[in-house]
Structure 1
Amino acid sequence: MREDVYKVVRAVFDNKEEMSKLGDEDLRLVTKIEMQYRRNGLALPKEQRGRLGDIKKRLSELGIKFSRNVNEGDGRETFTREELEGLPDDYFEDRATEVVDGETKYVVTTKYPDLFPALRLAKHEETRKRLSVAEGQRCPENIALLQEAVGLRLEAAKMLGYKTHAEYVLEEHMAKTPKEVLDFEQDLRERLTVLGKKEVEEIEELKRAEKKAAGEEYTGLFSWDFRYYTNLVKERKHNISDEEVKQYFPMKEVTRGILDIYQRMLSLKFVKVENPPVWHEDVDMYEVWEATEDKFVGHFYLDLYPREGKYNHAAVWPIRAGYAKPDGSREYPVAAMVANFPKPVGSTPALLKHDDATTLLHELGHVFHGICSITKWARFHGTSTETDFVEAPSQMLENWCWEPSVLGQFAVHYKTGEPIPDELVKRLVAAKNESAGLFNLRQVFFGLYDMAIHNTEDGKVDVKGLYTTLREDIGLFKNGDIDTWGSATFGHMMGGYDSGYYGYLWSEVFSADMFASRFQKEGVANADTGMDYRREILLPGGSRDASVSLEKFLGRKPTNKAFLKSIGLEA
């Protein structure tokens, strides 16, 4: 926001003769910095700049309040053991209880390790409904914060000469325009709805049969049925049970195995630091070295278990970027992965669902994007790529969790040490695309909701009501008869993904192409392919356009054929 600095930047930027002498990364830096100042309003008259500064300050305050409310505003319900029928025994170990009307009941919160197993496994619809409503009615105060933010973002965008906030944001993304995003989302929605409706028919049949057996009336499919019945279909069709699978995914072995995969693939060596200086006793710290030479690369932290007041999703923070110092030496990168995986219970070690292991692989992909990047400027280090590409490298690495040869390296029974049976792996892989239409429609819903509130020219949007109607229309499950406000905990809308949520599916297209055309073809353990990936995708970070990095790795322009095939659709 410093006008005096912008004048200097602008003078440099306008000096075409000197600019032409700069190297590629230096030229990119000056161009990006000038754009950043301009997008911050430094080319505006002073009065408008003052208003824009006020808007940015207020948006920052709103974002902090919103996030704090989500992290601290957990819902809770109490249930009898009977009401929680379907949950495994270890769900009840060390679980808090309280006496309600003279009866001892179990406390279930809306923290993910409590909520998701219950929504997936609890047999009683009323139990799932109560928990779903508790989650959907969290943080009502956040609705006003999001509504205000949407209005302020539009005001700021118009001040800077853009029609909508989405137009302002997408200028710096791979997609470039709202039309590109909407075409992408609508095309996917049409293709996926055909698939999703078939999946709904199958689920309806299941629920009707269950209701008939219980002597109850079938009234439709609701949001609280989504996880339960998609899981039930998977179990029945492929005989897959999360409870069976997680016996083969003890946290310690999975972490060791996945770190080994990254070491081999990227030609690195990890050394665990003993008695590290960390912020909590659960946190582990590692040094990273080149595998083939005595060369230090960086540090990373793993903070993997839930605790009170902690960030309650899974994410990676690039604590320090790497960059070239003036004397020619390097500042080494540091990254931290934060997650909320199940903790050990009594004598049973922490056991992960297959989804959890996939999350671990994914998030560590972000860690090593930061660790393996070598750029001159911190501005371009690691995951500082276009926002709609940043997930692609990590999404690609999720494929390793579906490869039998890979799973055999770390999936072992926590009691016997026996490797996961080939037959169970086959069932897991067969179940991979079960309900793919519905799961991806859910992502389309989030992306189209984001665009609906941010690609408007008049700002007249109802952030609460739109969420509810779009979820029902796109997701194909009813919202039910109780008022909820899911947008109040949709943290992406206040956490930097505004007008960018489409990027998850957008980058899936690139991740599928990278995996299918190189690793699947050349071998997931192919060290040369791994080094190509490190050199062309990870090392440049954001120092060049992501499309350039992609084309260099693929040897051609990317297509969506591999993605559509990966979810059971033909291009």
Structure 2
Amino acid sequence: MATFAAPASSKSSIPNFNLSLTEIREMAEAVASNTNQTFDSVAAQTNPTFESAIAPIGMEENNMNVFCYKINVLQNASANKDIRNACSEALSMLDENKTEALMREDVYKVVQAVIANKEEISKLDGEDRRLVKSLECVFISNGLNLDEGKREQFKILNCEGDLEMQFNSNINERAAKELFTRDELDGMSDDYINGLETEQVDGVLKYAVTSKSPDYYPLIKLARNTETRERMYLAYTTRCPENLSLLQEATRLRLAKARLLGKNTHAEYVLEDQMAKTPKAVLEMLNDLRGKIRQAWVERLKELSEMKKKDMEATGKQYNGLFDWDISYYENIRTKLKYNIDPEVVKQYFSVDRVVPAILNIYQKMLGLRIVKVDKQSAWHPDVELYEVWEANEDKFIGHFYLDLYPREGKYSHAAMFPTRPGFTKADGSREYPIASMLTNFPKPTPSSPALFEHEDVEDFMHEMGHVFHWLCAVTKWSIFHGTNVESDFIEAPSQMLENWCWQPSVLRQISSHHKTGKPLPDSLIEGMIRNKNENALQRYLIVIFFSLYDMAIHNTTSNVDVNETYNQMYNETLCTNCGGASIWTVATFGHMMRGYDGSYYSYLWSQVYSTDMFETRFLKEGIDNAQTGMDYRKEILQPGGSRDSMVSLERFLGRKPNSDAFFKQCGINNSLN
């Protein structure tokens, strides 16, 4: 196991997260003022060049992102609700200000004049030319190529940013809570029970279970009482009713803007600059996969239904159907019976204290890095840890990352990497070093147990760390191309590829250690886990297919549809389960539709094709511990960020054009998308 011993401290400053409400507002106003001054200066150019007109806008974007990324982390992670609200207001104001700046016709004309100077453009390096092209596309996407009347309509419609921010804030702020007696929590471990808060209700001790991930997912998987699972499921899926109207309005605005820009649908507009290119290509892939997977899932549901029937007969209850809140529970029982795998047993081998340094050690060896934990640091919460990243064999600094692993009130409720500062080249030629933050909601330690990961938590941690190192290892001139700022249907590929490490026997032995005995996972458990994963590969993709098809249903349409009715109908048709007629609005917590994945959720599957190809073609053949393969991956996939087309990065790493053979092999399908 690596020890993260510190070298000489880095010269890169870390952000100050201890900001007052006044400071947040004043800093946001200063950023807005600087943006306006920059665009005024560009608009005044009479003989514009790249250096006098394009570069200043790129540099302003660099500087604005330094502030906005930091404030976005606070908005999603601060323990102070007033601070979260102030950050939300600041980001909303800056988003509106930036949108107005990028709709200035006088600035657009200057940019067009630079683009028209073919001789100057030809002398620029690749990333500078990409900046010019990107800036032109941004202006066009903001309606600057429209006539005056349509441009005014576009301005009125271009306000979905506020809706998206409010939607996600509602998810973070609104946690459902249900109270249960100890008997109603039959099946839950003592560690789980000991970690819950309690309340006295009419003299009866009850345990508070929230919709936070460490509370909700274990209960829905392990609670024996079907009424308990049902109550918690319904609470979870009905906790944000106000979000329905926000998503409905956002889809209306998106369609109206796309039509003004000459596109038939919002998805058509979104996909134009992605690797997939067209909704037709996306739908062909999704429908092809659904056709191959759905029947296998129907057969599985029959098996689970029989299991529930036997349960009901054994307890003298009447079987009334298999519902959404039953699936995880009976899948868990099936796994125990068929493979002798008990997630409660498995997680005893994955304490946070063991897994986190073990996975960091994998990353530093693979990428030729040295990771240093910083003992004294100032962050947004005492639970947060800070790390420095250096080159392994030289005193060269790379960047920082924060780990914020445990849930709390008002915090972002899922797992994600949040860019905290971009890397870029400053005006004086020096380097701004990147910072990333991982926000997750893993189970906390209890009085009787350390913090323990389920294996899927280990996989999630490995995945999000993939995003962290994509962010840290990128070296770009402009922040707009830094790290994960790539095509949306490639953004997940690097992290998805790294999930494969969590299924390699040698890695599982390396990162596991029973928190009481110190022994690694036994080979019999590892073998069962891998067999279970392989058998369930197709079914695991079905939920992603559903989300992707739903995204297309509300965004690849020429007329507005009811977002909730469409969701529930497609869910029942695709996944063949239901909630017994209860009124739910699960879509109100489908944050991806309001967090940049609108028209792009298919990218999880699309990029899975690339991730599987990368893993099997290079790492599986050459060795997951092969240092040269790791450095090639860092150089060709991570380092360029979005400064070149991701297809170029893929082809350079693979040594050929990517294909889907490895993906379909993993699914057990002898077929290809090509």
TM-score when normalising by structure 1: 0.97
Q: How far apart are the structure 1 equivalents of 2:383 and 2:401?
A: 14
Instruction: Find the residue that maps to 2:443 and give its secondary structure.
Output: coil
> What's the CA shift string for 1:94-135, capped at 9, x where partnerless?
422223344222111111111100000111111111111111
> What's the CA shift string for 1:185-225, capped at 9, x where partnerless?
10110011132122222222212222222222333221111
Instruction: Find the residue that maps to 1:269 and give its secondary structure.
Output: strand
Match of 1:465 in 2: 565
Match of 2:199 in 1: 98
Letter in 2 for 1:338: L
Match of 1:381 in 2: 482
Deviation at 1:425, TM superposition (A): 1.3
Q: How far apart are the structure 1 equivalents of 2:190 and 2:554?
A: 43
Instruction: Find the residue that maps to 1:20 and give its secondary structure.
Output: helix
Contact (CA 8 Å) 2:108, 2:139: kept in 1 or not? Answer: yes
Q: Which runs of 4+ in 1 moved over 6 A?
A: none
Letter in 1 for 2:167: F
Contact (CA 8 Å) 2:191, 2:448: kept in 1 or not? Answer: no
Letter in 1 for 2:514: H
Match of 2:113 in 1: 11
Instruction: Find the residue that maps to 1:386 and give its secondary structure.
Output: coil
Q: How far apart are the structure 1 equivalents of 2:252 and 2:331?
A: 37
Equivalences for residues 188-207 of structure 1 within 5 A: 188-207=289-308
Tell me if 1:479 matches 2:479.
no
Contact (CA 8 Å) 1:192, 1:437: kept in 2 or not? Answer: yes
Identify which of 503, 506, 530 aligns with 2:630.
Answer: 530
Deviation at 1:3, TM superposition (A): 2.0
TM-score when normalising by structure 2: 0.83
Contact (CA 8 Å) 1:87, 1:122: kept in 2 or not? Answer: yes
Q: How far apart are the structure 2 equivalents of 1:236 and 1:506?
A: 34
Deviation at 1:347, TM superposition (A): 4.2
Distance 1:570 1:101, change over 3 A: farther
Moved more, 472-481 or 484-493: 472-481
Q: Structure 2: give runs of 5+ residues left out of the alignment.
A: 1-102
Deviation at 1:434, TM superposition (A): 4.3
Contact (CA 8 Å) 1:234, 1:434: kept in 2 or not? Answer: no
Q: How far apart are the structure 1 equivalents of 2:535 and 2:230?
A: 23
Equivalences for residues 61-100 of structure 1 within 5 A: 61-100=162-201
Identify which of 269, 285, 291 aligns with 1:184.
Answer: 285
Deviation at 1:149, TM superposition (A): 0.9
Tell me if 1:50 matches 2:148.
no
Q: How far apart are the structure 2 equivalents of 1:479 and 1:64?
A: 29
Match of 2:518 in 1: 417
Q: How far apart are the structure 1 equivalents of 2:312 and 2:664?
A: 35
Q: How far apart are the structure 1 equivalents of 2:647 and 2:581?
A: 46
Tell me if 1:304 matches 2:401.
no
Q: How far apart are the structure 2 equivalents of 1:175 and 1:215?
A: 53
> What's the CA shift string for 1:246-295, capped at 9, x where partnerless?
11001011000000000000000011112112111111111111001111
Letter in 1 for 2:316: G
> What's the CA shift string for 1:143-175, capped at 9, x where partnerless?
111111111111111111111111111112111
Identify which of 363, 368, 372 aligns with 2:464.
Answer: 363
Tell me if 1:510 matches 2:610.
yes
Q: How far apart are the structure 2 equivalents of 1:570 and 1:127?
A: 42
Instruction: Find the residue that maps to 1:288 and give its secondary structure.
Output: strand
Q: Structure 1: give runs of 5+ residues left out of the alignment.
A: none
Equivalences for residues 226-245 of structure 1 within 5 A: 226-245=327-346
Q: How far apart are the structure 2 equivalents of 1:96 and 1:142?
A: 28
Moved more, 346-355 or 40-49: 40-49
Q: Identify the structure with the greater helix proportion.
A: 2
Q: How far apart are the structure 2 equivalents of 1:438 and 1:372?
A: 34
Match of 2:453 in 1: 352
Instruction: Find the residue that maps to 1:442 and give its secondary structure.
Output: helix
Q: How far apart are the structure 2 equivalents of 1:204 and 1:529?
A: 46
Tell me if 1:565 matches 2:661.
no
Deviation at 1:388, TM superposition (A): 0.8
Identity value in percent: 55
Identify which of 127, 149, 158 aligns with 1:25.
Answer: 127
> What's the CA shift string for 1:502-535, capped at 9, x where partnerless?
1111111111111111111111111111011101
Match of 2:17 in 1: none
Letter in 1 for 2:123: K
Deviation at 1:495, TM superposition (A): 1.2
Identify which of 417, 422, 426 aligns with 2:527.
Answer: 426
> What's the CA shift string for 1:3-61, capped at 9, x where partnerless?
2221111111222222222222111111111011101111223343233223223x122
